[in-house]
Structures are given as structure tokens and as C-alpha cells.
Amino acid sequence: MPQPPLEIADYLSTPLPAIREQFPPGTGGTGPRAEWPEGTLKGVQVIDGFEDEVVKYIGSLPTEPVPAHPAHKYPKFLQVISSLPHVIKSPSDLQKCLSTLPLAAVSSVLTALEADSSDLQTGHQSAQALDRAGYESDGGEEDQAAAVLEGKTKAFQWRFNKSPMGSGEFLLLQQGSEDVKMVVRTINSSALTSADWDEFVVTGPYHYTTKSKASWYWSRQWGACRRLNCRFWALTDYQRWVFGVFDEKREHSWVSPLQDYDVVNPSILQELFYWARSSTGDEKGFKREKKDVSGLPALFPPNPARRVSVSGGKKPRLNSENKVRAANESDVSYYDSYKTVADPTQIEESDAEGADGS
């Protein structure tokens, strides 16, 4: 049965539902870090007025209701929320929450806005067998099929992937192309403390140091975008989100202020949609204005005294600067072509900093 048209701006304004977290003790642990001799990142920059830009962009969307593509319907929030895990206890729970609601909602709107009118008028016999949520992955609220819709519309899809060392990520693709528009990288909430997030969302000259989680996670975003040959990215543990983009040489990156899952005006759905549209080259999308950050104070000072594992609760060792441990999962030195996970049971790896990368 065809879905009634929706007002896109209103649909995307819905905040994400509250979902409690309960990761097992120790999942925020630490392990050895790799060096990063090939890194080219020189500066990072917080986007001024990010929220205002999103609100302005959302205001430019069609005010008339937009019909959903018959094979990529808008997720119904009440129905979808009832199918989500009540507590996020593992990376697979996190990935199901992401794929079922925010990612599916955004891809369905992306597809609806570019749907061919003939597809909307006639529909397709195979629509029920296809990915109605708008993503190509495991972890949704209903079974997904690998069939590809034969029509004039080039649908947008999120493909679940694992980095070479096992971290979960979702790749935005358009049907008929393997060109990755953007990547949404996932971590669990034990990987970064509030202080680590504060060090991550900064403006200044970048330098890689193994004694800073924030510096190291910046190198991971750089490595993922290099491996996937894309520039737009997002990093999230569901509760917190940041959106970023590298320049063409990957020497400079912009990053949004830290966003909570339940923000409104704009909501996470609106911000994710804005970032996805920007990644596809929308002329009204993000406009980069590069600042010279070379003369600003150095970032990422080593401070092992405050780096206490959120889940482990170990006391800091004040005289152990040379023994600071950190995460081992990394895109720093691995650039193999990405592989799609087809088996739902494979969405189980830990995105915690101390996860076994084997």
C-alpha cells in the first residue's frame, strides 16, 4: 500500500528516542597504538554557526508533502522505536539503532527527493522484496534482500561495513555506483569520555600523538576517509554525534560542535540529512571557509592523570606518562578495499578502544 506523502522538514525534526546504555565493564579499555608516518592532516577547525546553517538548509526544502519511493518508504517512528533495543549493551545493538532509524529515515528522504516520477506513479512488483528502509545492511527491523530495484530512480543506501581491524561503519552509496559519499563511524560510549570529546572538537594545528585519544581518533577518521576515498564523515556512539569533512588533500578538516542525540532545531536527523546532501554535492550544502590555524596554541596535550577508563574505574598512574595505553583498532595503516558484511551475525565486533583487532 502506498505511503502518504510527508512534509520532509517536519518529519526530520523529530528527535532521536532516548535509549539507555549498559556496556559491560572493561569495554572502554585500552591497548597499543600504531604510529602514523603517512598522515597529512595539519589543521582542524570547528564549524562556526553549524546549527544555523542546518536550520537555513532545512528551510529551503520543499514545503509541499513529498511522496515516498514505493521501495524506500519513510520509517514510521512509533513502529520503529518499538523494535529498537531497550538498552544498548553491545556494538550490534548500537548499529541496529542507527540503521533502523536515523540512517533509514535519511536515506528514504534522499531517495524520495530524487525519485523519478514514473517510479512513483507505477510502483514495482518487487517492492515488497526490497530494502524498504532505504539501506543495504543488517540490523534493521525487518529482513533485507539483496535484490536491486529496476527503475529509473537511483536510490540512496547505507551499507554496513567493517574497517580492516573490525570497527563498524555505514557507507552512503547511490544505486549503481560504488562511490562512497560519506561514512558514519561508530564507537561505544566507553571509548571517549566527555573530556576526550572536548579535546576532539577543537580548532588548531593538528599533530599526531599516541598519548591523546582525541588525536588518535582524528587519525582514524582521516584513515577511514582515505581508505574509502571520501571526504565527509560522522562519528557517533548514538548519544553523541559530530559531523566532519576533509579538504581535497586531507590536510585540513572541519568538524561540527558536539551534538546530543535529543537536540532539536535542528535535530540529529536534520543534521545528518544536511551532511548527507552536502556530501552529494548539493549547491546549498556546506560551504567551507578555511581558517589559518597554524599559529594557534598546540592541541592534544598529554595528560594521563585524568584518563581514567569510564567502565574500568582504575585510578590514574601519575608517573606513567611513557606507559599510557590506547586503542588498537585503527585505519591508520590499513587501506585494503572495504568488504560488505552480509551475515547479520557478523555485526558483533566491539568498537571499544581496547577491542581485539584480530
* Type and span of the H or E element at 234: strand 232-236
Is residue 327 pLDDT above 80, yes or no? no
242 and 201 in contact (C-beta within 8 Å)?
Answer: yes
Sign (positive or negative) of CA dihedral 66, 83, 132, 111: positive
Where is mean pLDDT largest: 24-33, 61-70, 96-105, 144-153?
96-105
- Written as nine digits, the cell of 20 is 539507555
- Over the chain, what is the mean pLDDT? 78
Q: Give the residue ranges of DSSP H helices in the chain.
A: 8-12, 50-59, 77-81, 91-98, 104-113, 117-122, 194-200, 213-228, 268-279
At a CB cut-off of 8 Å and minimum separation 6, what does 243 contact? 50, 232, 233, 234, 255, 256, 259, 271, 272, 275
Task: Determine the pLDDT at residue 118.
Answer: 65
Is residue 70 pLDDT above 70, yes or no? yes
- Written as nine digits, the cell of 352 is 571499544
Which residues are bridge partners to 326 per DSSP? 31
- Written as nine digits, the cell of 32 is 597499543
Where is mean pLDDT largest: 35-49, 151-165, 270-284, 301-315?
270-284
- Name the nearest CA neighbour of 89 among 185, 8, 190: 190
What's the mean pLDDT in 220-231? Answer: 96
Task: Determine the pLDDT at residue 249.
Answer: 96
Q: Give the Å distances, CA to CA, from 172 to 48, 156, 181, 196, 331.
A: 25, 7, 5, 27, 18
Give pLDDT tens digits for 165-183: 788 999 999 999 999 999 9
Cis peptide before 316 (omega within 30 of 0): no
In 10 A of CB 321, how many CB atoms?
12
**Which stretch of 116-125, 237-246, 322-331 has the lowest confidence by average pLDDT?**
322-331
Q: What percent of the chain has pLDDT over 70?
A: 72
Most distant CA atoms of the chain, gap in Å:
70
φ and ψ at 194, to 5 degrees? -60, -40
* Chain centroid, CA 171 distance in Å: 9
**Reported confidence tier of residue 4, pLDDT bands at 50, 70, 90:** confident
Separation CA 192–CA 239 (nearest Å): 12
- Name the nearest CA neighbour of 88 among 225, 215, 190: 190
Concatenating the DSSP letter of every residue in 99-148 gives IIIIIHHHHHHHHHHT--HHHHHH--GGGGGS-TTS-BSS-SSS------
Sign (positive or negative) of CA dihedral 75, 78, 79, 82: positive
Separation CA 292–CA 147 (nearest Å): 48
- Name the nearest CA neighbour of 174 among 148, 156, 188, 161: 156
Angle, alpha carbons 279-157-142 (nearest 5°): 145
